[in-house]
């Protein structure tokens, strides 16, 4: 079957993953032509694989379009980061929302991006573009700056080498951002002011695994303004993050190392 691949030497498994990887938060449904194009596969190959995946429940057929199937969703929920971390964090996120009324974010780093694991929408009218399962730049978000501050040096170099401007207030100077990251590590929290979207500010803290103190995720709030009440928000975040860290199972704590 390897001879049918568009990339010489590529396996059937890699071809299937390319097909599944064509979906993201901005492309939840795709036509067969779109699916083949985004997966860089020949149309007949994409059609055959898609048909097999529909039969296995990994994809769903909706008239002339395809979507991720329930079987993949069920499997995804078994991943520790999806099941254990979200399950442990859920009551703390609710408490944090009740205490602040702000949009609450739980996130982890996925390569050079922020992956949002959970979100509770706040009461205030603030433009928030994050979505559960969505990804945003590390350097332009509060939770992202926290995760970047404790990321390996190789990841930091990669991110700082390609800083895109999202709004006029996004930090795109590598030296300035590196100074901010040192301050985040020193002070224990990060903040942004309209760096991801106009009219939205954020503040975030790390969630540490209790066993070794490794940063496994970030907890953040999005509010209209940080000029007043920032200290109260940071304190509330730190209390919640500490509670989550103490409640993490040993298996998840060790996986962060």
DSSP conformation letters of 171-211: ---HHHHHHHHHHHHHHS-EEEESSSSTT-EEEEEEEE-TT
User: Of 197-201, 225-229, 237-241, which gets the smallest average pLDDT?
Assistant: 225-229
b (16+ CB within 10 A) / e for 218-252: bbbbbbeebeeebeebbebbeebbebbbebbeeeb
Cα–Cα distance measured from residue 54 to residue 39, given in angstroms and rounded to the nearest whole number: 17
Check pLDDT > 70 for residue 78: no
Do residues 50 and 35 lie in contact, with contact meaning Cβ atoms separated by under 8 Å?
yes
Cα–Cα distance measured from residue 255 to residue 257, given in angstroms and rounded to the nearest whole number: 6
Cα–Cα distance measured from residue 81 to residue 79, given in angstroms and rounded to the nearest whole number: 6
Do residues 246 and 240 lie in contact, with contact meaning Cβ atoms separated by under 8 Å?
no
Mean per-residue pLDDT, 15-28? 86
User: Of 127-131, 199-203, 227-231, which gets the smallest average pLDDT?
Assistant: 127-131
Mean per-residue pLDDT, 209-215? 74
Strands (E), 79-128: 103-110, 113-120
For the chain, give the percent of residues with pLDDT over 90: 65
Mean per-residue pLDDT, 71-98? 82
Q: Which pLDDT score, from 0 to 100, does residue 5 have? A: 47
Mean per-residue pLDDT, 88-98? 94
Q: Which pLDDT score, from 0 to 100, does residue 2 have? A: 36
For the chain, what is the largest distance between any 2 Cα atoms, rounded to a whole number of angstroms? 63
- pTM score, whole prediction: 0.74
Half-sphere CA count of 185, side-chain side, radius 13 A:
12
Q: Which pLDDT score, from 0 to 100, does residue 81 have? A: 60
Span 129-169, pLDDT tens digits: 888 888 899 999 999 999 999 999 999 999 999 999 999 99
Q: Which pLDDT score, from 0 to 100, does residue 249 have? A: 76
pLDDT band at 251 (very low <50, low <70, confident <90, very high): low
pLDDT band at 1 (very low <50, low <70, confident <90, very high): very low
Mean per-residue pLDDT, 60-69? 90
């Amino acid at each position: 079957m390897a001879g049918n691949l568009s990339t010489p030497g590529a396996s059937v498994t890699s071809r299937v993953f390319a097909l599944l990887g064509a979906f993201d938060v901005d492309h939840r449904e795709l036509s067969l032509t779109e699916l083949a194009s985004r997966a860089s596969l020949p149309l007949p190959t994409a059609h055959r694989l898609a048909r097999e995946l529909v039969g296995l429940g990994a994809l769903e057929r909706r008239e002339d379009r395809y979507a991720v199937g329930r079987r993949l969703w069920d499997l995804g929920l078994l991943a520790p980061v999806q099941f254990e971390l979200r399950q442990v964090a859920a009551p703390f996120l609710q408490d944090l929302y009740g205490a602040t009324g702000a949009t609450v974010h739980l996130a982890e780093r996925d390569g050079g991006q922020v992956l949002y694991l959970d979100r509770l929408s706040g009461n205030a009218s603030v433009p928030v573009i994050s979505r559960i399962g969505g990804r945003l730049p590390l350097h332009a978000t509060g939770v992202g700056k926290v995760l970047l501050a404790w990321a390996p040096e190789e990841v930091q170099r990669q991110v700082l080498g390609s800083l895109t401007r999202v709004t006029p207030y996004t930090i795109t100077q590598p030296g300035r951002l590196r100074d901010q990251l040192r301050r985040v590590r020193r002070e224990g929290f990060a903040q942004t002011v309209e760096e991801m979207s106009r009219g939205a500010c954020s503040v975030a803290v790390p969630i540490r695994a209790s066993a070794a103190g490794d940063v496994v995720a970030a907890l953040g709030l999005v509010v209209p303004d940080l000029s007043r009440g920032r200290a109260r928000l940071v304190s509330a975040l730190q209390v919640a993050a500490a509670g989550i860290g103490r409640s993490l199972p040993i298996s998840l704590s060790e996986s962060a190392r």
